Amino acid sequence: MLTNDQLAQWDRESFFHPSTHLGQFARGEAPQRIVTGGEGVYITDRDGNRLLDGFAGLYCVNVGYGRREVTDAIAKQAGELSYYHAYVGHGTEASITLSKMVMDRAPEGMSKVYFGLGGSDANETNIKLVWYYNNIRGLPKKKKIISRWRGYHGSGLMSGSLTGLELFHKKFDLPLDGVLHTEAPYFYRRPEADMSEGDFTKWLLAKLEELIQREDPDTIAAFIGEPVLGTGGIVPPPVGYWEGVQEILRKYDIVLIADEVVTGFGRLGTMFGSQHYGLQPDLITIAKGLTSAYAPLSGSIVGNKMWQVLMQGTDENGPIGHGWTYSAHPIGAAAGVANLKLIDDLNMVENAGKVGAYLRRAMADAVGDHPNVGEIRGEGMLCAVELTSDRSTRAGFSPVGSVAGKVVGEMVKRGVISRAMPQGDILGFAPPLCLTEGEADQIARVTAEALREVL
Ligand code: PLP
């Protein structure tokens, strides 16, 4: 077996890690962790640490690690048929069964599911479908996409443009033309301290409508949003937000894309975030929770209205010119089938709602009185602790992000993984949906210890 030192050296010499400070990593100035195993909500590494994964990988290992039901299904599929494509009407038992299972769980009004590999490519698919849709409808000018600042939709050319975080644009020449960003529905960062939540929503909706008017409604094709802002800070929407947004979109014939890569398959305590907030999307992006990341798989769920137009498009133009070699990969599909079944069998959607609420209460008890805790928020099995240098003014720290990073580091030393969310000092928690109350207590206790250590 390779020793840790050899692996560590190869890692720094050979491996281009995503979302990593490349220079610091190559020079050995940045942390490195070689992960070897996982069981339940814990991972283990080669240095002998056992860590409670309070972020489920990247909010994706929803059923927890080491589930035999899923790994056996993958092994069986790999043995029987490790690959066949899905082009020109080909399918496998796994991909067809998974389509049926996804559609049985999808919100009302949805028609079909297209499978990709990850959330970023699913959003690339969605934007292509929106453009195709408007071309077939004879609306070739209607192509611009509205996203939100602090939205996260991936890091491809289009999906990275949709993402509303500076780091994903800077020096990449993004966003692409035709992608617009509107205000983040982030009440803690409202423009005026004395604004009520209802007034903040009105302000957001006015900003959205202003943008549409300024750009010309006939040029706006779609609005994309996560039901709850995820990577941008784990921020549930203010009261009345989604009702108001949908009213505006209907008024101007703008497609709604619900990016449910994080919220799909139970994270909010409901099967989809769309059901949680009464969204009626035209397209839904799914990934992560679809397979609990046991294998890469994503999807675009297409609504009835759009499906009719896509069919018309292929009647007029021939087969849809879109597809990946690995679309509906049988191993991913087999993982998905076993994963969705497990989520049902173990009542994980309900557990996410119940234990998620317990986690936020435990967090409030543990750190709610800390002078540097500005807000504790979340929904379902999502929780954020926003740190501030001054509770009364909600001022940030300088440099931004420095404090949350240190707290996360202290937490890992105490056996719990959390995530410092970008563009702020925000501790993020998104544990597997099978978390127990005892494990939630452990996360809250370690957060308090780490906060005391750093601040
Ligand atoms: N959409 C949302 C809401 C996400 O949170 C993510 C990833 O975190 C993506 C899209 C991109 O998914 P992927 O990283 O699988 O490309």
- DSSP track, 121-143: HHHHHHHHHHHHHHHHTT-TT--
What does the block give as tokens for 323?
A: 């597809």
Nearest to 401 by CA among 381, 419, 379, 415: 419
Ligand 1 mutation target, pool 61, 120, 292, most atoms within 8 A of CB:
120
Question: From the CA of 128, how far away is ligand 1's center (Å)?
Answer: 17
Ligand 1 site, residue 260, Cβ cutoff 6 A: no
Q: How far is CA 113 from its chain centroid? A: 18
Distance (Å) from CA 315 to ligand 1 centroid: 33
pLDDT by 10-residue block (mean), the chain, 455 residues = 79 96 95 95 96 98 98 98 98 98 98 98 98 98 98 98 97 98 98 97 98 98 98 98 98 98 98 98 98 98 98 98 98 98 98 98 98 98 98 94 96 98 97 98 98 97
pLDDT at 2: 61
Q: How far apart are CA 279 and CA 119, in angstroms?
A: 19
In the chain, the domains with their CATH numbers are: 33-63+347-454 (3.90.1150.10), 69-345 (3.40.640.10)
Q: In whole angstroms, give the CA distance from residue 249 to residue 142.
A: 13
Which residue among 288, 297, 379, 419 is best mutated to probe the pocket of ligand 1, counting the most ligand atoms within 8 A of its Cβ? 288
Q: Does the pTM of the predicted model rise above 0.95?
A: yes
Query: How many angstroms separate the CA atoms of 155 and 169, rounded?
Result: 9
C-alpha–C-alpha distance, residues 33 and 18, integer Å: 14
Spatial distance between the Cα atoms of 291 and 61, rounded to a whole number of angstroms: 8
Of 249, 272, 248, 253, nearest to 262 by C-alpha is 272
Q: Is the CB of 262 under 6 A from ligand 1?
A: yes
Q: Give the position, in ligand 1's atom list, of the atom nearest the Cα of 285.
A: 1
Residue 118, ligand 1, Cβ within 6 A: yes
pLDDT given for residue 330 in this prediction = 98
Question: Residue 5 has what pLDDT?
Answer: 85
Burial 79-95 (b: 16+ CB within 10 A, else e): eeeeeebbeeeebbebb
Following DSSP, what letter does each residue of 165-217 receive, concatenated?
A: -GGGTTTTT-SPTTEEEE----GGG-SSTT--HHHHHHHHHHHHHHHHHHH-G
Q: What is the largest CA-CA distance in the chain?
A: 65
Q: Are 298 and 102 in contact (CB under 8 A)?
A: no
The dihedral built from the CA positions of residue 160, 165, 167 and 172, taken in this order, carries a sign that is positive
How confident is the model at residue 253, as a pLDDT? 98
In this predicted structure, what is the pLDDT of residue 167? Answer: 95
pLDDT of amino acid 424:
95
Report the complex ipTM: 0.99
Burial class of residue 392, CB neighbours in 10 A (0-12, 13-18, 19+): exposed
Contact 354, 398 (CB under 8 A): no
Residue type present at position 268: L
Q: Is 287 in the pocket of ligand 1 (CB under 6 A)?
A: yes
**β partners of residue 373:** 387
Half-sphere exposure of 321 (CA within 13 A, CB side): 6
Give the relative orientation of helices 241-251 and 197-215 as an angle to the nearest 10 degrees.
Answer: 20
Q: Select from 224, 262, 279, 284 the residue to mutate for testing ligand 1; criterion: most ligand atoms less than 8 Å from CB.
A: 262
H helix and E strand count, the chain: 15, 15
